Amino acid sequence: MGLILLRYGELGLKGGNRKEFVRRLRKNVRACLKAHNLQGVVASIGQRVYVQTDQVQEALEPLSRVFGLVSLSPVAQVARDIEAVVAECVHQAREAGIGPETSYRVRARRADKTFPFTSPEINRLAGEAIREATGARVDLSDQADVTIGVEVARDAALIYGRVLPAPGGLPVGVEGRVVALISGGIDSPVAAWMMLKRGCGVVPVHFSQSEGDTQKALDNTAVLSHYSYGWTFHPRILDQREVVGPTLERLREIGEERWNCVFCKRLLLLKACEIAEEVGAHALVMGDSLGQVASQSLANLEIISYGIPKPILRPLIGLDKAEIVAIARRIGTFDISTRSEGSCIFLPAHPLTRGSLEALRGVIGRLEGRIPG
- This model's pTM is above 0.85: yes
What pLDDT was estimated at residue 220?
Answer: 97
Q: Which residues of the chain have pLDDT under 50?
A: 373
Helices (H), 37-179: 56-63, 82-95, 119-134
What local confidence, expressed as pLDDT, does residue 111 receive?
85
Q: Which domains does the chain have, with CATH numbers?
A: 2-165 (3.30.2130.30), 177-367 (3.40.50.620)
β-bridge partners, 237? 206
What's residue 372's pLDDT? 52
What is each CA distance from 305 to 33, 186, 268, 284, 310, in whole angstroms?
40, 22, 11, 11, 9
C-alpha span between 77 and 305 (Å, rounded): 55
Per-residue confidence (pLDDT) for residue 32, from 0 to 100 = 97
Q: Which helix (H) or strand (E) holds 322?
A: helix 321-331
Q: Which residues pair with 201 in a beta bridge?
A: 177
